[in-house]
Amino acid sequence: MTAVSTNTQKYWEALKEVMDPEFPISVVDMGLIYDIQEEDGVIDITMTFTAVGCACTEWIQGDIEKRLMEETEIRQVNIEVVWDPPWTVARLSPEARKRMKSWGVSSR
């Protein structure tokens, strides 16, 4: 995860409420969010997905935008999807690994 600056910490926390549709793990704990920048009510998200063929890309982006727009100061959300560095299970947070393990899903 990219170093979190204090002024975007609240947005990282907000995105912990946005769940991956396939596993009830947040997009932050899945390691999908690479960077968050905010300036004058415009928020720029740099993110990835677990697979290029992910069928839920628009759904997840919609959920992210919807949640961030609930913050009163935010008037625009820009999302840039990147594929480098490529997502691997190494990006899962310890919390996500713990939950995966409890469901019997390998995270290695």
Partner 1 sequence: MAEQTAGLQSFIELIETIADNKYVMGDRLVEVGVSGPNLEATLAAIAMAQGELGHARLLYNWSFDLKELKKKPDIESQTGKAFPAIVNVNNWIALIASLYAANVAIDLVLRAVLDSGQSKAASRIQKLINEQNEHLIYSENWARQLLNDKGAIPSKFKEALSEAVSQAEAWLKYVEQQTELAEAGYIAKNLSLQQAFKSQIDQLNVQTLVSTK
From candidates 19, 54, 56, 89, binder to partner 1 by CB under 8 A: 54
Query: What are the φ and ψ backbone dihedral angles of 104, each rounded to 5 degrees?
Result: 80, 25
CB 81 within 8 A of CB 57: yes
Q: Indicate whether 48 belongs to the interface with partner 1 (CB under 8 A).
A: yes
Q: Is 82 among the residues that bind partner 1 (CB under 8 A)?
A: yes
Count of residues that bind partner 1 according to CB under 8 A: 12
Candidate list 24, 40, 53, 73; residue touching partner 1; CB under 8 A: 53
The stretch among 7-15, 36-44, 67-75, 82-90 that binds partner 1 (CB under 8 A) is 82-90
Cβ atoms of residues 81 and 49 within 8 Å: yes
Catalog residues that contact partner 1 under the rule CB under 8 A.
Answer: 48, 51-55, 82-87
